[in-house]
């Protein structure tokens, strides 16, 4: 079951823009954590957990790297942990680094979910009426990374059959991998020229070309769109009236639980977990109907 995949492209785009916008702009650590867990749970749902687990090592290293790097360059903060070459390494800078890392990881996760759900034909459907050239560039850019991955795998296999990787040394193998990578990149640069010529010949980028995408704007799409826009504007208002304001330096501002804050957090929770909630209710419905038959 994948109900969210069948949402209308426009409301899907609105949803992703608002959720990524909030998680990028908001400084409140609670909102950041909600966004991270929402993105992670949807990524787990989409990939059935397997791919997410293989990415987990990358995310953990990224998290550690950023949270260690920030205190090396920022020495602001009231509670020094120890001094390094006469400069304080402070708790505030460490926690600030962690929050930056959480934001970066959650945005990466949201984008990875987005590329899975918003396929290039949907992008073309939305943008072809506004600017066909932009739509073409968008869909080609989205297609680029998976294509590069596949072509890298193929090239590596070809190299393996040539016996290039038969060396014991890890350093040599790394060097050979870099060589494969450079050949793949130059190949893709070559391909891009051919692709653009061939797409032009097929009439892409022309305003008269229509795209066929059979999709009606249903009540469900309207519901997704209204929720995204409402929560987005509400969070912006809460950010402006300082309910969600948070300062790291010179020391952490206190998080007090007021009625405004609770509304802001629960709104963000609903928005970030919306796809997962939809999927779970749909699959529950499915099971219920199946058992009836």
Partner 1 sequence: MKKDLLVVFFVVLAVAVLIMGTEFQSVEEYYLTHADEITEDSDTVYFSINCENAVSSGKLSESQLKELNNGEILKEKEYVLLDGESVFDMLKRVCRFEKIHMEYQGADKNIYNSAYVQGINYLYEFDCGETSGWIFLVNGKQTDTSCGKYKLQDGDKVEWVYSLDAGKEFLK
Residues binding partner 1: number (CB under 8 A): 23
Under the binding rule (CB under 8 A), the answer on residue 291 touching partner 1 is no
Under the binding rule (CB under 8 A), the answer on residue 172 touching partner 1 is yes
Q: What is the 3-state secondary structure (H, E, C) of the chain?
A: CCCHHHCCHHHHHHHHHHHHHHHHHCCCHHHHHHHHHHHHHHHHHHHCCHHHHHHHHHHHHHHHHHHHHHHHHCCCCCCEEEEECCEEEEHHHHHHHHHHHHHHHHHHHHHHHHHHHCCHHHHHHHHCCCCHHHHHHHHHHHHHHHHHHHHHHHHHHHHHHCCCCCCCCHHHHHHHHHHHHHHHHHHHHHHHHHHHHHHHHCCCCCCCCCCCCCCCCCHHHHHHHHHHHHHHHHHHHHHHCCCCCCCCCCCCCCCCCCHHHHHHHHHHHHHHCHHHHHHHHHHHHHHHHHHHC
Q: Of 207 and 242, which CB lies nearer to partner 1 in the complex structure?
A: 242
Applying the rule CB under 8 A, the residues between 21 and 60 that interact with partner 1 are: none
Binds partner 1 (CB under 8 A): choice among 198, 233, 253, 266: 253
Please choose, out of 7-15, 18-26, 102-110, 165-173, the segment that lies near partner 1 by the rule CB under 8 A: 165-173
Task: Determine the Cα angle at 128 with ends 123 and 134, to 5°.
Answer: 75
Applying the rule CB under 8 A, the residues between 60 and 79 that interact with partner 1 are: 75-78
Binds partner 1 (CB under 8 A): choice among 48, 57, 85, 163: 85
Q: Of 76 and 151, which CB lies nearer to partner 1 in the complex structure?
A: 76
Under the binding rule (CB under 8 A), the answer on residue 250 touching partner 1 is yes
Binds partner 1 (CB under 8 A): choice among 56, 84, 134, 263: 84
Binds partner 1 (CB under 8 A): choice among 151, 195, 211, 251: 251
Other Cβ atoms within 10 Å of 36 Cβ, number: 21
Under the binding rule (CB under 8 A), the answer on residue 95 touching partner 1 is no
Q: Of 84 and 240, which CB lies nearer to partner 1 in the complex structure?
A: 84
Binds partner 1 (CB under 8 A): choice among 50, 161, 166, 168: 168
Q: Of 37 and 246, which CB lies nearer to partner 1 in the complex structure?
A: 246
Applying the rule CB under 8 A, the residues between 122 and 151 that interact with partner 1 are: none
Under the binding rule (CB under 8 A), the answer on residue 258 touching partner 1 is no
Q: Of 30 and 230, which CB lies nearer to partner 1 in the complex structure?
A: 30
CA distance 133 to 128: 8
Q: Shortest gap between Cβ of 112 and partner 1 (angstroms)?
A: 32
Of 232, 239, 277, 265, nearest in space to 15 by CA: 232
Q: Of 10 and 81, which CB lies nearer to partner 1 in the complex structure?
A: 81
Q: Shortest gap between Cβ of 183 and partner 1 (angstroms)?
A: 23
**Residues at the contact surface with partner 1, assessed by CB under 8 A:** 75-78, 80-88, 168-172, 247, 249-251, 253
């Amino acid at each position: 079951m994948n109900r969210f995949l069948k949402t209308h492209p426009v409301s899907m785009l609105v949803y992703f823009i608002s959720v990524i916008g909030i998680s990028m702009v908001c400084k409140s650590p609670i909102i950041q954590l909600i966004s991270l867990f929402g993105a992670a749970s949807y990524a787990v749902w989409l990939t059935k957990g397997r791919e997410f687990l293989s990415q987990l090592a990358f995310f953990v290293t990224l998290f550690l790297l950023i949270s260690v790097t920030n205190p090396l360059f920022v020495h602001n903060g009231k509670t020094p942990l120890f001094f390094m070459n006469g400069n304080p390494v402070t708790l505030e800078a460490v926690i600030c680094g962690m929050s930056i890392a959480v934001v970066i990881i959650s945005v990466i996760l949201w984008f990875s979910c987005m590329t899975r759900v918003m396929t290039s034909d949907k992008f073309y459907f939305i943008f072809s009426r506004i600017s066909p050239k932009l739509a073409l560039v968008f869909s080609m850019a989205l297609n680029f990374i998976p294509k590069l991955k596949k072509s890298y795998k193929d090239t590596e296999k070809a190299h393996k059959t040539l016996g290039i990787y038969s060396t014991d040394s890890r350093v040599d193998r790394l060097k050979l991998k870099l060589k494969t990578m450079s050949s793949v990149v130059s190949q893709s640069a070559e391909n891009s020229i051919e692709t653009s010529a061939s797409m032009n010949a097929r009439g892409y980028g022309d305003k008269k070309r229509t795209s066929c995408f059979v999709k009606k704007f249903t009540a469900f799409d309207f519901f997704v769109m209204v929720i995204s826009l409402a929560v987005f504007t509400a969070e912006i208002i809460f950010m402006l009236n300082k309910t969600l304001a948070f300062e790291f330096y010179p020391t952490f501002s206190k998080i007090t639980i007021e009625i405004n804050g609770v509304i802001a957090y629960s709104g963000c929770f609903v928005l970030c977990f919306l796809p997962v909630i939809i999927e779970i209710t749909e699959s529950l419905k499915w099971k219920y109907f199946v058992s009836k038959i």
